Structure formats: C-alpha cells, structure tokens
Amino acid sequence: MISDDALRPLLGSASGRESILISAPATGWRSAPKALTKRELNRMRARSQNSVERVTWAASSGKRPRYPALRQSVLSGYIWLTLASDSPVVIMRAASDFIPTDALHIGSGGGVRQRGTWHNKPVIARLGANGSPGDPSWHYRALEQFRFVEVPEPIGQGEVDGVAWTIESFRDGYPLRQLTDSVVDQVSDFLTKLPPPKKPSDLVADAVDELAGFSVDVSAVSERLAATFQTLPSAVNHGDVWAGNLLVDDDRLVGVIDWDSWQPRGLPGIDLIHLYAEDVRRSQGISYGDLVDQSFWSSEPLTQTLARHFAKLGLEWQETRSEELAAAWWMTASTGALRRTPTLADNPVWMDRNVHRPARRFG
C-alpha cells in the first residue's frame, strides 16, 4: 500500500485538487489479469486527461521471484497524476537538466527514484522529504566519499521546499540472480577497499538506543557483545548488501548500489552476513527472527567467507565471531526495518518474532 504522506510533498499545489487514478498491485499471478485490465483502463483515462506522470510501486514479493523484472512490470501498482509547476519533481528537473525516461518509483522508505538522462548520460534521480527514511542525502554522501568504479558517480544534489533531491550515474549490469563463490569473494574484496574509520564502531550502541525508543531492552545482548567488539576495528558498512543491490556482468561484480543504509563506523563482516542472511530469507520467504532460530550464521559457506575476509583485513578469526557478528547484524536489521516502517512497532506478532525472541536468543 502506498503512503499519501510519501507522495504528497512531491506533488506541489496539485496535491489538494488533482484527481488521481490508482491501480493497486496484484497480489499474485492469479489476480494479475484483473489488475492489468484496471490498469489499462486507467491508462486510457489518464491519456485523455493529459496526465503523463506515472508513479509505480511493487507488489509484495514473498519469496524471491524467478523473474523479478517481469513481476515488477505485470504485478506492480500504478498511479497517474498531473504534477503542478511548483512540484519539487518539476523544479528539480528544470534546475538540474534531468530528463525523465521512466516512471517515478516509490520505495519502502517513501523515497522516490526515477531513471532519466542528464546531458545525454543515463542517470538516476532520487527525491525524499528531508530527514525521512527516503531522504537521499545520506546515500549521496557515500557516493561522494567512495569513488570506486563499482559505485555510481555523484552528479548533483539540491533541495526544494523540504524535499531533497540527488542525481547519480546509472550503473550498467544486472542484479545478481544467484550467489556464487566468485561473486561473494569479489564483494569481500570490494568491502576491503572501503577506507577504515579512525574511530571505534558505534554500530551496536546506536542500535541499542534506537530499539530503546521502541521500548525494547537489549541490554543483555549489548553487554555480551561489548567486550568482544572492543577488540575489533571499525569498518565502513554498506548496510544493505543483497543480490538486488549487486550488479554483475556474467560472474563479474560491476556495481554496488543503494547506499541509503551505510554506516561510517560499523563492523567488519556485517555486510557479508547480511548478504547470506538476505539470500536465505528471500529464497525461503521467512523473517529475520526465523533466520535467528535457524542459527544461519553457523553454515560452513558463511563461516569460511568470514574467515577469508578477516584474513584479507589482517585480523585474527575466531569461531565465536560468527554468532557475535550475527547478533550485531540482527540489531541493525531490525532497527532498519522499524526506521523504514515505524508502524511495525504496533504489530505485536512482528515484534515478538523479529525483536523480542531474537533478543532472548542472543542474550
């Protein structure tokens, strides 16, 4: 379901008067014909009203779809609307010479992205309310700091009426379909290139503070981890390394995108744990809490990957590190989910499964 609060700041003065045509996403392949029929009828009505803007959001995927691009095009929901001249989207385009070539896409945090061109160069524009989970400024800051060939090039940024916007180069490549030893090793190599922070990690402390804001006490977990992580150097974490944010050409890593969750003072190995965790979670259609119940961090491929990664960093590897890093990963993953969707805190089933139960497990 799309949030009016996420869309309204982007519409300008049209938000209070324009009629908006909405086609909800299909819930599965069986409901696709009905959703497609309604979408096409709305498309014809939109053309008759000269409403050329489209906003799209994806249907809930459950397990990782076999053909994600096809699922997006067939099952996603659409909105047709007319943007006012004072819309931040329109003003951003005029100020930056950005020319859209695709629909506006709304992400889970309420941010909006759109493919287009800038001086005949393929780029991606991002917009989001200042300070919201969809604010692209933090993402853009990472692009400015990490000038590696795998990272999109920062092109420009600005602000319009409380809405931040950024433009970055479009990275060629295809989202990773299946984890291979070769790609995982290349991801590990990329992570070792990120410059090490000079200050200790504040990853766990920040997660503890955020969870406390949702009345969750994880002091037992943090106390257990404190002594261990004092012996580890901090590391830059991408924060959301999974197949969808890794671009490949055949079996060669060519892009690491979507830096909106990056941590400047994280911990070594967290991104690799997230990569494996998301692969299992999406393929099985399970939750973070279910992953913890499975003790996924004890799998041999993951422990071997972590050991090799620590060796590249010149760090000593200990078998207990897997569970300790998994506990830190769980804290950051759960706080990230709550940050993007605060209403999850009002869902006692979700909170018990993904927050309270893992806290008892790691504590």
Of the listed ranges 19-23, 44-48, 275-279, 305-309, the one predicted with least confidence: 19-23
pLDDT: which is higher, 59 or 78: 78
Q: Are residues 149 and 264 in the same domain?
A: no
Which residue range forms the structural domain that includes residue 132?
Answer: 4-169
Domain edge (last residue) among 147, 169, 191:
169
Q: Are residues 65 and 9 in the same domain?
A: yes
Count how many Cα atoms sit within 13 Å of the Cα of residue 162 in the half-sphere of its side chain. Answer: 9
Average pLDDT over residues 264-291: 94
Average pLDDT over residues 30-58: 78
Q: Are residues 63 and 137 in the same domain?
A: yes
Q: Are residues 144 and 238 in the same domain?
A: no
| Model pLDDT, residue 319 | 86
Instruction: Label residue 43 exposed, middle or buried (CB < 10 Å: 0-12, 13-18, 19+).
Output: middle
| Model pLDDT, residue 75 | 73
Q: Which SS3 state, helix, strand or coil, does residue 242 take?
A: coil
As for how many domains the chain has, the answer is 2
Q: Are residues 154 and 188 in the same domain?
A: no
Q: Are residues 135 and 221 in the same domain?
A: no
Q: Are residues 36 and 156 in the same domain?
A: yes
For the stretch 146-153, contacts whose Cβ atoms lie closer than 8 Å and that sit 24 or more positions apart, written own/partner, are 146/194, 146/236, 146/259, 148/190, 148/193, 149/254, 150/190, 150/253, 150/254, 150/255, 150/256, 151/255, 151/256, 151/257, 151/259, 152/124, 152/255, 152/257
Q: Which SS3 state, helix, strand or coil, does residue 251 take?
A: coil
| Model pLDDT, residue 217 | 86
**1: confidence class by pLDDT, cuts 50, 70, 90:** very low
| Model pLDDT, residue 14 | 57
Q: Are residues 284 and 186 in the same domain?
A: yes
* Residue 60 pLDDT exceeds 50: yes
| Model pLDDT, residue 216 | 87
**Which residues in 204-349 belong to E strands, given as ranges?**
235-237, 246-249, 252-256, 263-266
Please identify which residue in the block is written with the tokens 């379901």: 1
Domain edge (last residue) among 139, 169, 199:
169
Backbone angles phi, psi at 75, to 5 degrees: -100, -10
Return mean pLDDT, the chain: 88
| Model pLDDT, residue 229 | 84
What's the pLDDT tens digit per position in 189-224? 999 999 999 999 999 899 999 998 888 888 888 888
| Model pLDDT, residue 39 | 80
Backbone angles phi, psi at 118, to 5 degrees: -135, 110
Query: Which CATH number characterizes residue 55's domain?
Result: 3.30.200.20
Q: Are residues 272 and 313 in the same domain?
A: yes
Q: Are residues 146 and 287 in the same domain?
A: no
| Model pLDDT, residue 279 | 94
* Residue 291 pLDDT exceeds 90: yes
Helices (runs of H) and strands (runs of E) counted in the chain: 14, 14
The C-alpha atoms of residue 259 and residue 245 are separated, in whole angstroms, by 9
Q: Are residues 187 and 329 in the same domain?
A: yes
Domain edge (last residue) among 152, 169, 186:
169
Q: Are residues 195 and 133 in the same domain?
A: no
Q: Is the pTM of this model over 0.75?
A: yes
First and final CA of the chain: distance in angstroms?
35
* Residue 61 pLDDT exceeds 70: no
Query: Which CATH number characterizes residue 262's domain?
Result: 3.90.1200.10
